[in-house]
Amino acid sequence: MILEIHEITPEILDCDLSSPEIETITFDDGLYTQFLNYKHFLQFKKPMYFFVSPAIVATGSQDPTLIECWRAHEIFFKTGKTAHYMSWDNIKEISEVANIGGHTFSHPNLRDLKLTQQLKIAKEQVELMMQAFAEHNIKIESFAYPYDYEFFGFKFLLGKYGIKKLFGETRTTIESYMMKKS
Ligand SMILES: [Zn+2]
């Protein structure tokens, strides 16, 4: 299975992820607390992917407080504050030991939009995202759909950049994995 992690809670840090049934560990949204804890996960020796939206990268001071992922997003969407997210330096450091993947440019929710709007936004998002990763010299070969909404247009748009590893709702959330174990 492919595990999906957002905010890293103390319970997650207590959880043994060495089981062979876990093939891959993914981290969505580029939270700063993921950067502060990424070394913990190296012991499990699994392929790891960190999915980042380049518009949501810390530019100033960073806040190490553990915050729920949806709350951090809410703060960003309302105020533009990126203190709960990784910086490009953080992302670069992680890229030495794990994969960095795309997560669109600014994490839009396409779910309830009309098809023409979805296509227009997806195209803009992929172009801006690829441009930003190139500017920061980060090579990406994977992508996670925001909100795990598997809009088909992304597959086509990303294929043009050779990105074929797409992650979505077929992942198992760490919360449900832990529930099953307990
Ligand atoms: Zn996300």
Q: Residue 148 is part of which domain span?
A: 2-181
Mean pLDDT of 131-160: 97
Mean pLDDT of 113-138: 98
Helix (H) or strand (E) holding 6: none
Q: Which long-range contacts (CB under 8 A, 24 or more apart) does 36-43 make?
A: 36/64, 37/8, 37/13, 38/94, 38/97, 38/98, 40/13, 41/17, 42/97, 43/18
Question: Which of 179, 143, 177, 139 is closest to 44 using CA atoms?
Answer: 177
Number of domains in the chain: 1
With tokens 């979805």, the residue in question is 118
Distance 169 CA to ligand 1 centre (A): 12
- Please report, for the domain that includes residue 167, its CATH number: 3.20.20.370
pLDDT tens-place string over residues 34-46: 999 999 999 999 9
Report every protein residue that has its C-beta within 5 angstroms of ion ligand 1: 28-29, 146
Distance 54 CA to ligand 1 centre (A): 12
pTM of the model: 0.96
With tokens 């890293």, the residue in question is 8
